[in-house]
Amino acid sequence: MADFTLLKKFGITLHPPRAPRILEVIWHPPVDPWIKCNYDGCSIDTSSSCGGIFRNASADMLLCIAENIGDGNAFQAELIGAMRAIETSHQNSWNHLWLELYSAMVVHALKANIQVPCNLRNIWHNCKHLLKSMIFFFLFCFSCI
């Protein structure tokens, strides 16, 4: 445990952590020729958005994407984020795509071909077709709030 003596000397009150366990997460760059995309989607009330960052084996930022997608839910925001990452990778000829994502439902959609919302179905099928010409890997990153 860290030494908080200095904080106490300045009269700063320390509160015990609320999390039962704190887990340190460290990002690692992919190996060459892979491109890693970390993306996320979120939704509140009537506004949804998604965004991502692409990095290479040297951890150089290659490209960032962000999009306001309007109405939708968290799953749709995450799914659109995954589709944008796949499309962007294909457009830039990054044929070794490693996605790090935060939605178990999107992982399930990637693995088991679950039914996606009808307004996203055409784009989803196009992305599934693009993936056939790529080497694709995804990693589910969980987080607890």
Provide the token pair at 30. 């992919």
Note the pLDDT tens digit of each residue in 77-88. Answer: 888 999 999 999
Note the pLDDT tens digit of each residue in 32-61. Answer: 999 999 988 888 887 899 999 999 999 999
Instruction: Look at residue 97 and tell me whether its pLDDT is greater than 90.
Output: yes
Helix segments in 1-145, DSSP class H = 5-9, 74-91, 104-112, 121-131
pLDDT at 70: 87
Instruction: Look at residue 145 and tell me whether its pLDDT is greater than 50.
Output: no
Domains and CATH numbers, the chain: 28-140 (3.30.420.10)
pLDDT top residue among 19 and 117? 117
Is the CB of residue 54 less than 8 Å from the CB of residue 81? no
pLDDT at 8: 73
| Global pTM exceeds 0.85 | no
State the average pLDDT over residues 97-126.
81
- How far apart are the C-alpha atoms of 54 and 20, rounded to whole Å? 33
Q: Which residues contact 142 (CB under 8 A, 6 or more apart)?
A: 102, 104
What pLDDT band is residue 100 in, cutting at 50, 70 and 90? confident
pLDDT top residue among 102 and 94? 94
Does residue 112 sit in helix, strand or coil? helix
